[in-house]
Structure 1
C-alpha cells in the first residue's frame, strides 16, 4: 500500500513539478491537493489531462490530517508556518518549501516578518542532504532550501574553511524566470525579460543571510557573504559564480581534487572539468560544480535546475529519507535539453 501524500500550494510551478515526481514514485501516492480555491488539477495544468484525475480543494488542515501521512507545503513565506503549527502532534511528516523554517529566528524576522512558530524553527532540519542526511532521516519537519542557497552552498562548502574571512565571499547568481513564480508582475512580463538580463536586490537580497548562516554553521569559517541575483530569459536553470581568496596555506590547492574528495560519495553532485552549462542540469536533480584557483584567487561555478534541485526534487529526496527510502527514488537524472 502506498503512502498518501498531500501538496498544499499545488497551483505553482513547484506544485506541478512535485506532481510529476510523485506520479513516478513507487511508494508515494498523491491523495490530496490544496490551494486557495477549488478546481480540477487538469484545468490548472492542462498537461496533466489524461494523466491524473484529482480535485484541487481549498486547503483544510483537518482534511490533511485525515488523508495524508506526508505533506509538501509549496507556499509563500508566512503561509507555511500557519499550517505547520496546526499539524503539530499529528504524526504527519512535513517538507516545507517556504522560507519559514530555513534560518534562525533572528535572521527570519530580520528578512521577513514576526514568526508564528519560534519553537518549530528549533526542531526543523535544514534539508540540504549533503550536509544533513542523518538528521533528515529522523526529522518530522524539514525546511527545504531554496534554489539560490542550494546552488551557492553546494559550491562553497568544500572550501569554506580555506577562505580568507577578511575578503568574504562574492556570489553572482543567475536564475531562470520560473524562479520568480507564477504571480503576475511587470518584471516578469515577456517584453521585460526577453533579450534582457538584470540584477535585483543587489547585496540586500534575503537569501544572503540564509547562505551566510548555513555556510558558517557547517564549517569553522566566519565568512561574510555578498550576494547579487540576476533574472535571465530562460524558463529554468540556475548558474552561480562565487569569488573568494584562499588563506596562504591553501593558496596552491587543486580545487577539483578538493571537490572530488568532498563529494566522492554523493550521487547527485557532478564535478566538471570545464565551466558549468545550465543545459546539462536543466530537468535533472544534479548539481554540477567546477572551480579554478589562480594564485590563491578562487572561482567556483555551480549549476542546478532551480525548480527541481532548488525546490521540488530536493523536497522529494528529503521525503525519501524521512521515510527510510533510497533518496534517489523518482529523482530525474536525464536533461531534456538538446
Structure 2
C-alpha cells in the first residue's frame, strides 16, 4: 500500500519530537518533510535519540516545497506563527492539523486572549479536533485545530455531566513541566520546579476560555469554569480534578460509561485516575464520584500525547479515512 506523505513544521519542540516518534512507525503515513525556522540540521543531530532511525534533513520551512511533497502537515508552532503557514498551505491544497491555539477559538475569544487574527476565513471553517465529539466533522475537514492539553483532559471529564451541573465549576489541573514548552524559564529551572509545585495564572489562564467555549458548543449550556493550573515536578502527564454542584438522580460512573462506551481512547476506571497509567499513551482515564449534590471527576492524560501529538495523529487518521487508532501508542511507560 502506498503511504500518505506528511510533514512537520516546528519539529524542534517536545510535541515535534513526539510526532516524529509516532510517525516513524505509523503503518499508513510516511514522513516526507521536516521543517523549522532555520533548517541546516539532520533529525538525528537535533535529537540524538534518533541515531540510526532517522537522518532526514530538517529544512527552513517553505510552504511551496511542503505542498510539493506532502498531503498533510502538522504545525507544531507557537500561536501567530501557525496561522501564517496554515493560510498558505491550505491555499496550496495541503491539509493541516494545527497544534497551536490559532484555530481553536471563535474570533472574539481568540483576539481577546492572544493577538489579532490574520486568517479569519479559515478560522470560520476550522474543526476542533476532539475526536469523541467531532469525529464525523474531522473526517471531512481540511483544517483541524488540535485542542490544548488542559482543555482535552477537562472537557472529556466535564462534558458528560453538563446537563446535571448547577452553578459554576472548579477545575484543579496539574501538569508535568514539559507542558511549559522546551525553552527554559525561571519557573521551569530545575532548582525552581524540583520538589516544588505551584499554581500559575489562576482564574485567568487562556485555556479557561477554551474550556468554557467548548462546553457551550458541545454541552449545550453556558458554564462558568474556574480554572486553576499547577506546574508539577514530573516530566510529562496531567491530572485534572473537576468539582461541581449537581442535581438529579444519576450514577456518575454509569454516566461516564454511557458517554464513552464506543470510545477507543477513553477508559472509565474504578478509582481515581493516575498519571502513570496513561504516560506514553493516547488514553484518557476518567473516574467520578458523588456525595449528595457534590460531584468529583478525575481525568488523567499524557499532556504531550493525548494533549498534543498523538491526538493530532488521531485527527489525521480520521481526515484520511483510516481507523482512528492506527499507529497510536496504547502501552504506558509503567514498569
CA shift, 1:51, in A, is: 0.5
CA shift, 1:195, in A, is: 0.2
2:147 aligned partner: 145
Pairing partner for 1:43 from 14, 37, 45? 45
The whole-number CA distance in structure 2 between the counterparts of 1:29 and 1:77 is: 26
CA shift, 1:91, in A, is: 2.0
- 1:305 equivalenced with 2:307 (yes/no): no
Query: What stretches of structure 1 move > 3 A for 4+ residues in a row?
Result: none
Please list every run of 5 or more consecutive structure 1 residues that lacks an aligned counterpart in the other structure: none
- 1:8 equivalenced with 2:9 (yes/no): yes
- 1:173 equivalenced with 2:173 (yes/no): yes
**More displaced 10-residue stretch of structure 1: 315-324 or 36-45:** 36-45
**More displaced 10-residue stretch of structure 1: 316-325 or 32-41:** 32-41
Please list every run of 5 or more consecutive structure 2 residues that lacks an aligned counterpart in the other structure: none
Other structure's SS at 2:91 match: coil
Other structure's SS at 2:154 match: helix
Q: Please say if residues 64 and 92 of structure 2, whose CA atoms lie closer than 8 Å, have aligned partners that are also in contact.
A: no
1:75 aligned partner: 77
The whole-number CA distance in structure 2 between the counterparts of 1:120 and 1:172 is: 33
1:61 aligned partner: 63
1:103 aligned partner: 105
- Residue by residue over 1:239-276, the C-alpha shift from the partner in whole angstroms, topping out at 9 and shown as x without a partner, is 000010113xx1x3210010001110001110011011
- Residue by residue over 1:69-88, the C-alpha shift from the partner in whole angstroms, topping out at 9 and shown as x without a partner, is 11000000001100111123
User: So what's the TM-score if we normalise by structure 1?
Assistant: 0.97
Other structure's SS at 1:316 match: helix
The whole-number CA distance in structure 1 between the counterparts of 2:334 and 2:181 is: 21
1:284 aligned partner: 281
Q: Please say if residues 253 and 293 of structure 1, whose CA atoms lie closer than 8 Å, have aligned partners that are also in contact.
A: no
Other structure's SS at 1:53 match: coil
**More displaced 10-residue stretch of structure 1: 83-92 or 234-243:** 83-92
CA RMSD of aligned residues (A): 0.8
CA shift, 1:220, in A, is: 2.4
User: So what's the TM-score if we normalise by structure 2?
Assistant: 0.98
Give the alignment of 1:21-40 within 5 angstroms. 21-38=22-39, 39-40=41-42
**More displaced 10-residue stretch of structure 1: 97-106 or 216-225:** 216-225
